[in-house]
Amino acid sequence: MEQQAAKKRILSGIQPTGTFTLGNYIGAVRNWSRMQDEYECLYMVANLHALTVRQDPAALRRQTRESAALLLACGIDPAKSIVFIQSQVPAHCELSWVLSCCTQFGELSRMTQFKDKSAKHPENINAGLFTYPCLMAADILVYNADLVPVGADQNQHLELARNVAQRFNNNYSPTFTLPEGYNPKTGARVRSLQEPAKKMSKSDTNANAYILLTDDADTVLRKLKRAVTDSEGAVRAAEDKPGVTNLMGIYSALTGKGLSAIEAEFAGQGYGVFKEAVAGAVIDALRPIQAEYARVLADKEYLDQVLAAGAAAAGRIAGRTLAKVYRKVGMLQ
Ligand code: TYM
């Protein structure tokens, strides 16, 4: 009998630097749960990456658990996917060192996230912030992931991971799978509600700029009502209407309606009606997530058991890759 082809593997991660935003959800996490049946999936909370910005230790511990609970609440099913905490699989850091020795200073200097974060935290431009993409490459390559579902802001890091993998393969022998990025068709770059030139980010100092998955209905409505639009008053997607276009993108991603259908739906109506409709779609999407989040967080034993099993399963795969890499680069066995 013909053997079934092995499933392709997915790895992706999210930092536990706060509750996820609607951008995290539409750009990444929602797709993770949709890919679980077709792929072999590993999803992690990237708590080591969070250290590149100064964190309060107790808050980081709490947010790491909350992030894992939120992943489950967003539909990631531990019976189908491996869910784990990055720091609980030491091979990521070990491979990261080897990969950092195959990465050029110049390549890392070109990373826009490094430039943005250095500008944002001039008092703490640490070496980890600089070598962050090497750790991210290790996260992906240690599992030989075929596909990495991310928002558009992570594409540059992914490209670097591919280049480093290729360089390692050329310098030693074929070892790593070259990972492909996967951006969603709608919502790969959800923008700030206050400054639509920027991406929606949980680290924004203005809480009106983002919607959190834990925001209650009143908060969602208030933030959307305050969202920056323009003076034209027509629901129409256009480059010179980034605020309205962003809201249309959110509405489209959540309802499945195309942009022209949305334009037709709101033709002749003002932004007030449109914003209320967007808020309705967001509230409907968040309601089941929030209920499940509360349930998972309350069950400490269940979450602990999921994460322990996840770290063990991920560690087995990662350990095998690391052993192979160490042998190839000449570490004493
Ligand atoms: P992070 O925690 O910033 O974001 C998690 C995921 O959410 C996506 N995202 C967005 N998508 C659309 N619109 C937005 N406004 C928006 N904001 C965030 C991100 O693209 C990401 O997919 N370095 C990563 C975490 C990471 C990782 C990895 C990802 C660590 N190791 C290995 C993939 C593979 C990060 O900081 O994501």
22-49 pLDDT tens trace: 999 999 999 999 999 999 999 999 999 9
What span, in angstroms and rounded, lies between the C-alpha atoms of 289 and 25? 11
Q: Residue 5: pLDDT above 80?
A: no
Q: Which residue puts its alpha carbon closest to atom 18 of ligand 1?
A: 24
Q: Residue 191: pLDDT above 80?
A: yes
Q: How far is CA 230 from the centre of its chain?
A: 30
Of the listed ranges 3-12, 145-154, 223-232, the one predicted with least confidence: 3-12
- The helix-helix angle for 271-298 and 242-255 (nearest 10°) equals 50
239 residue type, one letter: E
Q: Residue 302: pLDDT above 50?
A: yes
Q: Residue 4: pLDDT above 70?
A: no
- Cβ of 63 less than 6 Å from ligand 1: no
Q: Which position among 8, 80, 202, 257 bears the catalytic label?
A: 202
> What is the 258 CA–ligand 1 centroid distance (Å)?
25
CA distances from 258 to 82, 187, 245, 263, 289 (A): 33, 12, 12, 9, 24
> What is the 213 CA–ligand 1 centroid distance (Å)?
15
The pLDDT of 219-225, averaged and rounded, is 98
- Cβ of 66 less than 6 Å from ligand 1: no
202 is catalytic: yes
Say which residue the tokens 């991210």 belong to: 136
Are 297 and 303 contacting, i.e. CB atoms less than 8 angstroms apart?
yes
Element (H, E) at 12: strand 9-14
> What single string gives the DSSP state of each residue in 51-68?
TTS---HHHHHHHHHHHH
CA distances from 162 to 64, 313, 324 (A): 28, 24, 19
Q: Residue 3: pLDDT above 70?
A: no
223 is catalytic: no
Structure-block tokens of residue 184: 């969603």
- Cβ of 111 less than 6 Å from ligand 1: no
CA distances from 89 to 147, 194, 205, 291 (A): 20, 38, 32, 30
- Rounded percentage of the chain residues whose pLDDT exceeds 90: 95
- Rounded percentage of the chain residues whose pLDDT exceeds 70: 98
Q: Residue 1: pLDDT above 50?
A: no
Q: How confident is the model at residue 102, as a pLDDT?
A: 97
The pLDDT of 56-60, averaged and rounded, is 98
What span, in angstroms and rounded, lies between the C-alpha atoms of 6 and 75? 23
Q: How confident is the model at residue 89, as a pLDDT?
A: 98
Q: Which residue puts its alpha carbon closest to atom 22 of ligand 1?
A: 150
pLDDT tens, 255-288?
A: 999 999 999 999 999 999 999 999 999 999 999 9
Q: Closest by alpha carbon to 13, among 38, 42, 51?
A: 42
| Burial of residue 234 (number of CB atoms within 10 Å: 0-12, 13-18, 19+) | middle
CA distances from 9 to 40, 49, 137 (A): 5, 22, 15
Q: What's the chain's average pLDDT?
A: 96
pLDDT tens, 115-153?
A: 999 998 899 999 999 999 999 999 999 999 999 999 999
The pLDDT of 177-195, averaged and rounded, is 96
Q: Residue 2: pLDDT above 70?
A: no
